[in-house]
Structure 1
């Protein structure tokens, strides 16, 4: 049915808001006045505690952070379904990770919504200092995570629709006192989330999420070499003239393609220069995002070029 991604600083109150939202949604689904086509079989709440992810996994220079994020994403993959509402209660501070979950939700065919808990950093630090033992972040870790947080943007498709909740807003499961169309009411923010996951646009799988079978014998190599080829062509064109709208690039076909294969062409729309380190970072994220399909459903070089171009466009907005 839907995936709700919750994001915010550490100790911003995400888990409290997530539980309030889960209680509201469960009551909403159990309400006899809820239309049958809006009913989900279950509400699933995923968080670090339920998945056994420790706070020290996010320590500065800790190697456990990537496996922790992978554990969360795997749980999202397992639970996403058209008859379930999945609440992803985590910092979700990296927009690339939010994009990855967004693509997975579109592939399954469910609606998405982002809930941003906008608590000031100083208040988060006060809450963390009041915690004890393994429930608290190390001060250096907290500062590092706050500085790395990539705030959601309603203009980004993977963050939209975006609902923002301030620290002093009422509980999500608190009745508004207004005359609602259905029996169960919650705060205005909770009602916005409900409308987003029941009435919002249900986006079909796009180029970045459609899978096709190919005969590639080394998919990881194909991902890496094809995206590297686009970077080379983009930097070459950029050195000749600045970007000013749509730019068409011509790339050689992959080494696995037939000798008679035509060159690959792709159009990007970038309005500012992109540095090589930025492109290399985006390539690493892109390859990691799609490498999980290796050996099962894979893409050919034309699809990879188009997907990587789209990914660069979205990340550079």
Structure 2
């Protein structure tokens, strides 16, 4: 399904525009799915304002939303993601997901004067949907505006409250233009087992924890890794922070270049040796 990423500061009309799109695309005979950030926040039992003050809760919900999007996207019909989507890196992740699934995508930016947005927020009838002033201001400060020159934000449709949506333009871009061809960076990794990511995390963690333990004990030079025969690494000039950074980088790389699970220990040690020279 083509994806419409709705983005904007708090109380800028995202849900109103999402419902407008729902009505329009259903009139075109399309099946439409709205994925609502607020619905998932409340479903998880979070209070709206405290939720945005907790980066772990935010990260969890963003993961849930992305998972829902990727389960629904295909070459037909429409998925509308009604959320703040204020992080440009997250919008890029969504773009990669739709590209990998050979689907079209566009961005709808609900723009608004910030004082007007606050008035809209104050006039909400449902107290559970209101932002307090501190959270509202913080989210406005964090917001990373979409840019139509970025391929992950394009085509970009910006709309103010008093304006009329370019519904025909959105329809044309979603259904009458070819989806971008997937490339290596957006292809799903060829995971060789359903436990691949768990195994990757646990093995690399075990190796790094062992190396950190040696560093904290004052060990230098070549050390052997417990539990992994014939694997060793020189930790003389390696810092604990470097080890942790390399582990994160290797996990990110392996998600798109999945190795044979049996070779993870050897390949990770090779990666450390090369990266930490």
Q: TM-score, normalised to structure 1's length?
A: 0.59
Question: 2:87 aligns to what?
Answer: 94
Alpha-carbon offset, residue 288 of structure 1: 6.5
Matches within 5 A, 1:173-252: 189-213=166-190, 219-220=200-201
**Does structure 1 residue 71 correspond to structure 2 residue 64?**
yes
Alpha-carbon offset, residue 80 of structure 1: 1.4
1:143 to 137, 140, 159: 137
**Does structure 1 residue 48 correspond to structure 2 residue 14?**
no
Question: 1:22 aligns to what?
Answer: 22
Q: Flag the 1:222–1:154 CA change in 2: closer, same or farther, 3 A.
A: farther
User: How far apart are the structure 1 equivalents of 2:70 and 2:39?
Assistant: 15
What SS is found at the alignment partner of 1:116?
A: strand
Q: TM-score, normalised to structure 2's length?
A: 0.67
User: How far apart are the structure 2 equivalents of 1:286 and 1:165?
Assistant: 41
Deviations 1:87-136 (A, max 9, x none): 11111000111111111111111101111111111111111122352110
**Does structure 1 residue 128 correspond to structure 2 residue 117?**
no
Q: Across the two proteins, how many residue pairs are aligned to each other?
A: 218
What SS is found at the alignment partner of 1:163?
A: strand
1:167 to 161, 166, 170: 161
User: How far apart are the structure 1 equivalents of 2:117 and 2:163?
Assistant: 16
Matches within 5 A, 1:266-277: none
Question: 2:234 aligns to what?
Answer: none
Give the gaps of 5 or more residues in structure 2: 206-243, 272-277
Question: 1:104 aligns to what?
Answer: 97
Give the gaps of 5 or more residues in structure 1: 30-39, 173-188, 225-279, 306-317
Contact map agreement 1:116 1:152 (CA 8 A) in 2: yes
What SS is found at the alignment partner of 1:83?
A: coil
Determine which structure has the larger helix proportion and give its number.
Answer: 2
Q: Flag the 1:59–1:67 CA change in 2: closer, same or farther, 3 A.
A: same
Contact map agreement 2:98 2:105 (CA 8 A) in 1: yes
Runs of 4+, deviation exceeding 6 Å: 214-217, 221-224, 283-286, 292-297
Question: 2:227 aligns to what?
Answer: none
User: How far apart are the structure 2 equivalents of 1:296 and 1:120?
Assistant: 52
Q: Flag the 1:286–1:190 CA change in 2: closer, same or farther, 3 A.
A: farther
Q: Flag the 1:222–1:104 CA change in 2: closer, same or farther, 3 A.
A: farther
User: How far apart are the structure 2 equivalents of 1:12 and 1:286?
Assistant: 39
User: How far apart are the structure 2 equivalents of 1:28 and 1:161?
Assistant: 20
What SS is found at the alignment partner of 2:185?
A: coil
Contact map agreement 2:2 2:78 (CA 8 A) in 1: yes
